[in-house]
Amino acid sequence: MGKKEKRRRTSLDEDKKNRRLRRKIQRLEEKLDRQKEERQAAKNTLDNKSRRDDEAQATDVPAVKPPDNRAPEALPTELPSDAPQEVPEHEIELQQEIVDIIGACLESDKKTAAAIHKDVALRWSEIVKK
C-alpha cells in the first residue's frame, strides 16, 4: 500500500561508498601530514629564534657605567633591624563598576558565617578542584 520498498544495495553502491571512504581517508591523511609539517616548521622557527637570541646575548658587551665620584647625600643613621616595618595602608578608591563586581568590603567585626574547620581551610583548593 503506502510502504516503500527498501532498495537493495548493489555492488555499484558498495563501490561508490568504498571510493568515497577511501577519498575521505586520503584527505585526512593529507591533513595530518600538513599539520605535522606546520608543527615542525613552527618548532624550527622557535629553535632558530632562541638560538639567535642566545648568540646575540653572547656577543653583547654590557655597557660600563663611569664611576660615581659624588658623595652620598644622606647616610642612614640607623642600621636595619630584624623587626618588621609597618607598611602604610593606602586607601585607593575603586570605580563603582569594580565595587559592584567584587562586592563592597565587609566590616572587620562583622561575621559572615561560622568558622570553618582548620583542616578544611588548609585543603580548600584541593576540595574545590574535586
Is the pLDDT assigned to residue 121 strictly greater than 80?
no
89-105 pLDDT per residue, tens:
666 677 788 777 777 66
Assigned domain for 81 exists = no
**pTM, entire model:** 0.31
Assigned domain for 73 exists = no
Assigned domain for 68 exists = no
Count of domains observed in the chain: 1
Quick one: residue 83, left, alpha or beta (phi over 0 = left, psi -120 to 50 = alpha)? beta
25-37 pLDDT per residue, tens:
999 999 999 999 9
Question: Which residue from 113, 121, 115, 93 is spatially nearest to 105, judged by alpha carbons?
Answer: 93
Amino acid sitting at position 71? A
Assigned domain for 74 exists = no
Range of the domain at 28: 3-55+89-129
